[in-house]
Every structure is written in structure tokens, then in C-alpha cells.
Amino acid sequence: MKTHDQHGRGRTGPRLKGIRLLAAGAAALVLTAGLASPLAPASTQAHAAESAQSTKDTKGKKVLTVAVAQSVDSLSPFLAERLLSTSIHRLMYDFLTNYDPKDAHVVPGLATKWETSPDKLTWTYTIRSNSKWSDGQQVTAEDAAWTFNKMMTDEGAATANGSFVSNFAEVTAPSPTKLVIRLKEPQATMTALDVPIVPKHVWEKVTDFSKFNNDTSFPIVGDGPYILTDYKPDSYVRLVPNKNFWRGAPKFDELVFRYYKDQDAAVAALRKGEVSFVAGSPALTPAQAASLKGEKNIRVNEGPGRRFYAIAVNPGAQARNGEKFGDGDPSLLDERVRHALFMAVDRKTIVDKVFQGHAVEGQGYIPPRFPSYFWEPSADQKLAYDPAKAAQLLDQAGYKKNADGKRVGKDGKPLNYRMLCHATDPNDKAVGQYLQEWWGKLGIGVTLNCLDNVTDPWLAGKFDLAFDGWSVNPDPDYVLYIHTCGARPATPKDTDATDDFICDKKYDELYSQQLSEYDPAKRADLVQQMESRLYDLGYMNVMAYPNAVEAYRTDQIESITTMPSAAGNIYGQDGYWSWWSAVPANSGDSSGGSTSTGVIIGIAAGVVVLAGLGVLFTVRRRATAEERE
């Protein structure tokens, strides 16, 4: 399941109709004291009143309340793309397989085991017999077969996760515990199908999957560790434990995700004890984390992030039928212009000044948390910070300065790029100010267009540049797919999974090769070649890999699983481990499934060691950012 973090169409990134590391261990980082900024307690009053109303029947119950800076885009797993939405779906519905919280290796989920034919074209999964839907009906292989077949035959149902089934030839359920998937070509992601399996007897009544948001009847029938019982758009989502969950029921009586548009207000709510946990958008800023350090009953947790923070370029929106749309600036079609812009971005300053050390300088498309796929450009390939060379590239491309020092386009008008920015992400605004300064020295203007919803203009191709960000799964297939030609919408009126309308034949060839490569080392090499190609095209500029910085109240949460368990994140995991394992404080139960206590953080500059994999990278001081998986 893709996760577009907080940007965008929901994303923490932008717009997609669907969205989608790991190291065995990491030394605990220490949170550097940042510049404390006054919080805005007044803005929490409305939330507090609303919270009291939405939890009025919870007196005496153990309620785990998670403050989030992102609202739900859809409760339908066929449509959702935002990190919050996809994370909630992991709690509501089981997947065929899951990722172990210790090191993200594949473990059984709804499927207890799987095997493939010698030619790798037929996969057979054994579906567990001890799983029931929350309405009491048995979960069977037919539910999984129906889910996949609906995605294969209904364009609306394929909105979010259609890439996973595009290579499927046939899916059948010969028995209640046997699922068979026959492929057109070998596919290396068959143990990483991040698709929520839904109950056929409920969803077969849906007539239009492109419009049904799964928010008309509660409780919602599912088979995951939690059952969704109440929802108010842009306000809260409430879930209760599934007492019949095959792995065991969660320990808290309720789990509530509460939306705060003002991130400082969320931090103030944590301080007051009105919420149990706060992650930010999706992480706390350095100032917020520093302000919480040393607070009684509050623990700050930090670990290597699974997301990247980037600039995306509109290369000229075009549908698969060849029809162009949108109004991206034509100057950005010139690779020299794109490279010039990126060579005028000082990543070190962004990491040091904006993230204040809580991030790693950006390189390739996959974060260093996934060492097998992490890629860095060679010395002669790297678009290092070099404003003088950037100016030369613009001159060579024919975009010279006029008498006023402004770069002018072919039409004689000064270049002024519109940049989509997420209103709820303070990092976008801070980085945007730097870009205005750096690109301004080149003679290029930048207008920040900060919106609560960047999805609509993004999907319409009505932007020049945009802040982008994705959470990457242990298997990176989805975030690679969104840059293929096939991910573009069929027509301008349609919606598909494309990130920024990229279509490159060489990239597509590499994508097809990696998808069918079962040898881990060979597949990793192909993925790195794709990252190299994406870097050279210049449509994506990864500026940083933000750490996961979050905080929770120890007087409400006794223990909770991080991922990786040695020193990882709590919010936005590749699974349901954190909220499933959480143990209420003073409960007398510290078993909590597979819990591990969160890590407290505290030093200025640190070194993160991904134990067991020999990966070492320095982490300066820094902060965080937001969209879509």
C-alpha cells in the first residue's frame, strides 16, 4: 500500500490516487535542543471541546489518542493514498503478508504460507482458518480472490493499488483456505502485496468504487486488530479492539486519531495530557521536540525515517492517450534548466537550518534506511551545490538575464515558478524561503502556493514545481511504479497513480526488469539503476531524508513497539505493530504482544548505526516534513 505521507493529494506529498529501511538495529539518536517557540494553547480549546464530545462515552476506559496533522482522504482501501488513511487500513484489514517489526522481513499475515511454481508464474497461498470478520463470518480465500479480481476488472477499484495486480492473469480460490494467483510474467513482489483484503459479502454491494468512501455505515466490517466504529471528517477517527483478532486483541479499549491543523496545538494537547501521542506532519519540528525534552511523563522518540523530502517538477502533464493538459512552465522541459535549479539548492543548509540535524542529506530516491536499495550519485554525476555552474547552464539554455537581472523565457517574460506547498507543513514554508533566495540570485522568481489540499491542482497539472514526499515500504516497487508511463492517467479527466507525469522509455525498461528479477542482489542493482536514471532526468530532487521525531506520554502508554524494534519509528509503520502492541500505563500488563519500549533521545549531532548491516551515516541536526503511501 503506497503512502504519500502528508503531502499532497493527501500526501505529504501531492496528489495520487493511491500511495505507498530497514536496518536490523540503530543506535539511539539524541535530540538536540532547538529553539523553543511559544505554543498556541488558545487554538487547542476547540479541539479540547470536540474531543470531550467525541469521547464522552469513554469514561473509565483506556483510550490511546493520537494527534495527527493529516486528515483522512478516504476510508475506502481502494481509494486512499494518504499516510494516515493507509495506516488506519492496516488496522482494519489484514494483508496476505506482513513485515516483521524487528527487521522488516516478510512474515505471515492472512496467508500462513506460500509457494511458487518452478516457472514463477503460479503462486499458491494458504489462507489461515482462524480469522473471522468482525460480523462473525469466516474469512476465506474467496475474499482475497474477490478483492484482487475486483481491482483487475474495475478501474475505480484499481485506483490506489492497481499496480500490484496489473501483471495478474487469473486469481482463483479452489477452497476456503487456498488462493491461487497466476501471473503473465514473473513478479518479484508476490510476498509484498500491500493490499488490504476486504470482505466480499460487504463490498460486493458497492456499485461505484470510484465514489464509495466506506463512511456510510459503522462499525465497518474488518478482520484486522481494530474495528472502526466512528468517524468525523477533518476531526477524528475512533476504533476499538477486535476481540477475535487471530494474533490477539490490542490492550487499549479505544484508539482515536485526532486531527490538528495547527501542529503547535497538538504539542500543547500532548503537554496537557489531552492526547497520548503526537507525530507532527509527519514528524515534530526541532523546536517542538526540544520544548518537550525533560517534560514530566513525556518521552521523545527518534529513529531513521522511511520517507524522503523532495522537489518535484511538472514535466508537462500528459495522459496515456497522448493528450496534454495543465499549465506547467515550458522552460522546465529543458533538462539544463532542471539541473540548474537543483544545483542551486544547498542540501546541507536545509538539513542544518531547517531540520536542525534531524535528517540526512538527500541523494537517491530510496532512503538509507533501506541499505540494499539506497543509491548515491558518482562524483561526476552528482548535482552538487554550485550556483555559478547553475547560472552557466541557464545561459547555455538561452535563459539569460535582462537589464533588471531577471531570467527571461522564450516569450521574453521573466521566469517565475509557481511552487505547490503544504499549508500544514512548516518545512515547506521554511525551505520555500530558501529557494526564493537561492533561485532569486539566479534571476528566477518563486511564488509559494501553500494549500490545505494540493491534490486538485497537482492532478490537473496546474503547477510548475511542488514539495513532494513519500514513505517507502521495505519493497520499493510502488514508489518506483509511480514514475512509469503506465502510471499516468488514461485521459486528462481520469486519475491514476502518477507522481509527476514522468514517462521515460529507459526507466520503464528497467522497471520491468526489476519486477521480474528474483535474485535480491540483481534486483537491488536494477533498482539503483532506476534511481540513477531518475536523478539524471532531473524531475525529482531529493533534498533530505527526515528522521521520525515523535513523542508520547509515559503516564498513558507504558510500552509500544518501534519499527525497527531496536530504534525506529512508531507512527506510520509498515504494519500495525505500534498501536496493536501498545500497553496502557498502570495496566499491570507489560507483555503487550511484541512490545519494545520507545527510545528517548537527546544529543546534538549523532551517528546512526544500522546494526548488522554495516551501514553508517552521520546525522546532523534537523527536523521533518509531510502524501500520498
Stronger pLDDT, 363 or 623, i.e. the higher one: 363
The pLDDT score that the predictor gives to residue 246 is: 97
Q: How confident is the model at residue 59 (pLDDT cuts 50, 70, 90)?
A: low
Q: How confident is the model at residue 142, as a pLDDT?
A: 98
| CA distance linking residue 358 with residue 352, whole number of Å | 8
Q: Please report how many Cα atoms fall inside a 13 Å half-sphere around the Cα of residue 266, on the Cβ side.
A: 30
Kindly tell me if the per-residue pLDDT of 60 is higher than 90.
Answer: no
For the chain, give the percent of residues with pLDDT over 70: 84
Tell me, yes or no, whether 438 lies in a domain: yes
Q: Is the pTM of this model over 0.75?
A: yes
State the Cα–Cα distance between residues 580 and 562, nearest whole angstrom.
11
Residue 478 counted as domain residue: yes
Most confident of the following: 19-28, 89-98, 449-458: 89-98
43 against 32, higher pLDDT = 43
Specify the DSSP element, H or E, that contains 340. helix 335-343
Band (pLDDT 50/70/90 cuts) for residue 209 is: very high
What's the rounded mean pLDDT across residues 445-474?
A: 95
Residue 376 lies in a domain: yes
Q: Which three cell numbers stand for residue 90?
A: 492496516
> Residue 235: its pLDDT value, please?
97
Asked whether residue 528 is domain-assigned, the answer is yes
For 175-195, how does the pLDDT look when each residue is reduced to its tens digit (9 = 90+)?
999 999 999 999 999 999 999
Q: CA–CA distance from 116 to each of 113, 121, 183, 188, 518 (Å)?
A: 11, 7, 11, 11, 12
Residues 183, 121 contacting (CB under 8 angstroms) = yes
Is pLDDT of 13 > 70? no
Compute how many other C-beta atoms are within 10 angstroms of the C-beta atom of residue 224. 26
Which residues on neighbouring strands pair with residue 227, listed in sequence order?
Answer: 240
* Structure confidence at residue 268 (pLDDT): 97
Q: Sort 50 into a burial class: Cβ within 10 Å, 0-12 / 13-18 / 19+.
A: middle
CA distances from 151 to 185, 203, 574 (A): 18, 12, 22
Q: What mean pLDDT is reported for the chain?
A: 86
Residues 6 or more apart whose Cβ sits within 8 Å of residue 75? 85, 88, 213, 214, 215, 220, 228, 231
Query: pLDDT for 494-516, tens place per residue?
Result: 877 899 999 999 999 999 999 99
To the nearest whole percent, how much of the chain has pLDDT over 90?
78
Alpha carbons 426 and 142: distance in angstroms, whole number: 46
Let me know if residue 196 belongs to a domain. Answer: no
Going by pLDDT thresholds of 50, 70 and 90, the confidence category of residue 589 is low
Number of domains in the chain: 1
CA distance 481 to 487: 7
* Lateral strand order in the sheet of 178-183: 111-116, 122-127, 178-183, 168-175
Give the model's confidence band at 410: pLDDT under 50 very low, under 70 low, under 90 confident, else very high. Answer: confident
* Residue 40 in this model has a pLDDT that exceeds 80: no
Per-residue DSSP letter, 388: H
Asked if residue 459 has pLDDT above 60, the reply is yes
pLDDT score of 600 more than 70: no
Give the pLDDT confidence of 101-124 residue by residue, as tens digits: 999 999 999 999 999 999 999 999
586 belongs to a structural domain: no
pLDDT of 476 strictly over 80: yes
* C-alpha cell at position 42: 488558545
Instruction: Provide the residue range defining the domain that includes 514.
Output: 307-546
Question: Is residue 1 very low, low, confident or very high in pLDDT (cuts 50, 70, 90)?
Answer: low
pLDDT, position 567? 86
Which one has a higher pLDDT value, 613 or 555?
555
Contacts of 164 (CB under 8 A, 6+ apart): 151, 189, 193, 194, 195, 478
For residue 482, being part of any structural domain is answered with yes
Does residue 233 sit within a domain? no
Residue of 170 and 4 predicted with greater confidence: 170
Say whether pLDDT at 95 is over 70: yes
**452: pLDDT confidence band, cut at 50, 70 and 90?**
confident
Q: What is the CATH number of the domain that holds 324?
A: 3.10.105.10
Angle between helices 505-515 and 520-537 (to 10 degrees): 160
pLDDT per position as a tens digit, 250-296: 999 999 999 998 899 999 999 999 999 998 777 899 999 999 999 99
- Better-predicted residue by pLDDT, 16 or 355: 355
pLDDT of residue 298 exceeding 90, the answer is: yes
**Residue 610 above 70 pLDDT?**
no
- Whether the CB-CB separation of 595 and 583 falls below 8 Å is answered with yes
Task: Determine the pLDDT at residue 22.
Answer: 29
